[in-house]
Structure 1
């Protein structure tokens, strides 16, 4: 679908922590259905982002310099095996596009950037834990059931 405006996708850095926190807050409030009071959230987010940056690549979608969507990949290095090149796998998370900008191909463009990055980093696979609403989106992009994985859900 073509868009009347141009959205750019780029990798983020430490200067983007505030914009990413704003998107994360918007996602959280959308899920909750109401504003969430948390005066320390932006500071907590910035600390989390700085700690995660060495193993996580975040992509942001921007329209006229404003962050309107994001997605990230956490990379996990696989234990080396004799006679095999080093490899890794990625966990895709925190995919979100502001409501006003959905259904315009922005999520697909973010996902394409994340998949290309995972390929460039020689990832063996990308896994994710989709919401019920996002399953069709990921299936259209070629994701399927992860029958090779098991999970033990811990009480939180």
Structure 2
């Protein structure tokens, strides 16, 4: 496991390459082959640029090196007469490098994200966990929900 103090902070424009590197590491871990993709870095940066104000990313670092990330996609409900504004978030793309797992990095990322969600007055945060990550999210306070429906189109 890496040495150094864990720092979790909101990522900015200067962190795009670090976030892209973590996304590439995640892909390599999942597929065993992060195939060479000369357009990936540019495509990733373009995606982050398009997401603009609707997505907030956090970066975890140890000794100045990126070790984990998570992001929150923000959604605002259509206004209703006489009702307060209602916003919610989708927690996505949580990833911690394998050698930095089980050391509080993921929990620190989720804690930062949930603190932000509360400060922003979001009414809920949802996610689509892997089977392996369900206990982790339950420890963070999430519970299984039956209210949503899904159709897979592709």
Q: Whole-Å Cα distance in 2 between the matches of residues 21 and 28 of structure 1?
A: 11
2:132 counterpart SS class: coil
Greater CA deviation, 33-42 or 57-66?
33-42
1:117 is aligned to: 116
Could you tell me how far 1:34 is from its partner in structure 2? 2.5
Identify the range of structure 1 (96-105 vs 32-41) with the bigger mean alpha-carbon deviation: 32-41
- 1:92 Cα deviation after fit: 0.3
TM-score of the aligned structures, taking structure 2 as reference length = 0.94
CA apart distance, 1:65: 1.2
Q: Which runs of 4+ in 1 moved over 6 A?
A: none
Number of the residue aligned with 2:134: 135
Q: CA deviation at 1:124?
A: 1.0
Q: What secondary structure sits across from 2:124 in the alignment?
A: strand
Q: Match of 1:57?
A: 56
RMSD: 1.3
Query: What does residue 48 of structure 1 align with?
Result: 47
Cα deviation, residue 4, structure 1: 6.0
Q: Which residue of 1 aligns with 2:16?
A: 17
Measure the CA separation in 1 of the matches of 2:83 and 2:9: 32
Q: Does 1:71 align with 2:66?
A: no
CA distance in 2, matches of 1:21, 1:14: 12
What's the TM-score, normalizing by structure 1? Answer: 0.93
Structure ranking higher in helix proportion: 2
Gaps of 5+ in 1: none
